[in-house]
Structure 1
């Protein structure tokens, strides 16, 4: 039954992630969460709190409606992995540092506004692509832990 649970939970977490990152997150949180300040840490924590509330509600709904084989420990472990890794990446300098160490700094900065240019920031940046790939990878593990623990 854990394979079925994983197969149901992973796409549900990906949908919840997309909604939480783009609809639930406030503009203030998105603009502030990467700042090297107390305000940045609080904005990121508030984003991750609302994000985790939505992913948890999604898994709880599936658990209740579909009778999935989820243990309380699996539920908590999956949500904790998702929340901690989401916070870590959304502080931005952490993921930028990892990208640099892995030789992805140029890709990370793709599409970013350039100094002394009138460039518009967009969702089509390397930073955004690496951020989303990071989240999706950890949601895979969160779903696996939810199903297996």
Structure 2
């Protein structure tokens, strides 16, 4: 029996749920605020104790890397545990490849330096006005960010399902 379709569906659902949770509930306020900081567009971050720090390029990279490692670790744990519960065995190399796809593309989008990747893509595809939308309860940049993550997680799920079999 071919287990790839089942493994793909399970991997996608597990990757998506883990990403959504860790991207919103698990992400620290510091990482959320500072992951796009650069020396030319620094972020002033005020800690809960009232101290303020200015975050530049190095701090922005570290905040984004911390966030992406947290997301990817959560995805890995949920993917492995979830597929085990479902009786699906994923090949370790396929899981590693899937997590690499998800993590690297998540970093590329979330670093969002001025004129970042998603903004450039939005402009190139005629979606720049939507990207800049922040009205009617909508935020276009956020919607395109989440769509980016969903799309790459679909590819990651396909990678994870390679050589899948039943336990």
Q: Normalising to structure 1: TM-score of the pair?
A: 0.88
CA distance in 1, matches of 2:87, 2:63: 35
Give me the CA root mean square deviation: 1.6
1:41 is aligned to 2:61: yes
**Greater strand proportion:** 2
- Per-residue displacement from partner, 1:59-82 (whole Å, max 9, x unpaired)? 110232223131011100000000
Distance (Å, rounded) in 1 between the aligned partners of 2:62 and 2:118:
18
- TM-superposed CA distance for 1:123, in Å, is 7.5
Query: Which residue is 1:124 aligned to?
Result: 138
Gaps of 5+ in 2: 39-56
| Cα pair 2:31 2:64 within 8 Å, conserved | yes
d(CA) in 2 for partners of 1:54 and 1:148?
21
Task: Give the helix-richer structure, 1 or 2.
Answer: 1
2:65 counterpart of 1:55: no
Partner of 2:109: 89
1:138 maps onto 2:152 in alignment: yes
Matches of 1:38 and 1:95, distance apart in 2: 21
How many positions carry a matched residue from both structures? Answer: 140
* Cα pair distance change 1:123/1:23, threshold 3 Å: farther
Matches within 5 A, 1:5-84: 5-36=7-38, 37-84=57-104
Q: Per-residue displacement from partner, 1:76-100 (whole Å, max 9, x unpaired)?
A: 0000000000000001222111211
**58-67 or 36-45, which deviates more:** 58-67
